[in-house]
A and B are shown apart, each in its own frame.
Chain A
Amino acid sequence: MKKNIVSVLIVIIVLGYGLLARRYYQNNKLKFTVPKNNSVKNKQTKLVISQKTQSVFQNGSFIGQSANAYWGNVQVEAIIQANHLSGLNILQYPNSHSASVYINQQVLPILKKEAIQKQSSKVQIISGATFTSEAFIQSLASALKKAQ
């Protein structure tokens, strides 16, 4: 069963936003959008930020609390330049649980491929495209010929 990758990304982004908002939201209204092709595994997640009101952020970088995001902890670092939120680093993201590793690393399922190889093992039944009676009889006839 596939996890909804988009919803997981949204959970992580919203959590990061929430952590920031808790710290800075009191006097400022921030609005930022994340480019859709952003991947959480690129730790330098870039943000497009627009601000409706004048910001009074102090310059520097601020590390948020590590928060549980169900599949693991998420921790973000906010970078403030010229009193504006200029970047968001994701310091911690779920990577221990196999499901979240799968979600983070494989946005689209990459199915295993191999070159086909003749197998020598004996089997009880054979599955194939519908073998008609005609083909069956031909095959049986050739087998019987060999058996003569």
Chain B
Amino acid sequence: MKKILLACSSGMSTSLLVTKMKEYAQSIGEEAEIWAVGQDKAKEDMRKADAVLIGPQMSFLKSELQKEADQYNIQVEVIDMMAYGMADGKKAYEQALSLMVNQ
């Protein structure tokens, strides 16, 4: 089971991408739990995740969230801008997986 957390300002715009990522994960037969939260809940939800992706409009959060994520030994990355804009579930899902490889 792969657990991916997405965070943006209010969790609303990333929730669109969540749906697409879930669809993609299902289509390749992988079990994944993917959810979106606002920035205020990101730190709290992090402990349940294997990787954290943040919306590009919140890129300035990365260093602060990564500090927190280090405790759980997970990676935080900004979602590729084009993948985010086009709600490209495949690309974003693969980006999340690439963050788990290094663990």
Q: Do the two shown chains form a genuine complex with each other?
A: no
